[in-house]
């Protein structure tokens, strides 16, 4: 094909790839937020920092807020999770506070 067709194909492929990566990040963050508890937090926390928390900042905030809303009994766990993430990445803590 022409150069223009190739560029369009590359752009579409790139958009699809980015969306796939974003959905994968959302799935992993939701899974970790749902998995964390008082007994495994120390082990699960490093898994959060393996993910792209800069890109997934909004996803993380939304996931924690949804989890807390549906399970208020675990508020202390989500608060501890946010506190630890906040020590390493204060912009994530600020976003959760703002929302």
- pLDDT, greater one: 15 or 63: 63
For residue 61, give Cα distances in angstroms to 8, 15, 43, 85. 34, 24, 20, 11
Q: Report whether pLDDT(96) > 90.
A: no
First vs last C-alpha separation in the chain: 47
Give dist(CA 17, CA 1) in Å, integer.
22
Residue that has been written with the tokens 């992993």 in this structure: 28
pLDDT at position 98 is 84
pLDDT at position 9 is 67
Share of the chain above pLDDT 70, in %: 90
Per-residue pLDDT tens over the stretch 20-65: 999 999 999 999 999 999 999 999 999 999 999 999 999 999 999 9
Paired tokens of 8 = 């369009």
């Amino acid at each position: 094909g022409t150069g223009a067709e190739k560029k369009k194909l590359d752009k579409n492929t790139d958009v699809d790839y980015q969306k796939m990566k974003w959905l994968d990040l959302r799935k992993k963050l939701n899974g970790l937020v749902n998995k964390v508890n008082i007994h495994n937090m120390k082990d699960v926390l490093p898994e959060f920092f393996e993910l792209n928390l800069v890109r997934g900042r909004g996803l993380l905030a939304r996931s924690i807020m949804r989890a807390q809303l549906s399970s208020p009994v675990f508020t202390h766990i989500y608060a501890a999770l946010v506190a630890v993430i906040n020590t390493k990445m204060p912009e994530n803590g600020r976003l959760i506070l703002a929302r």
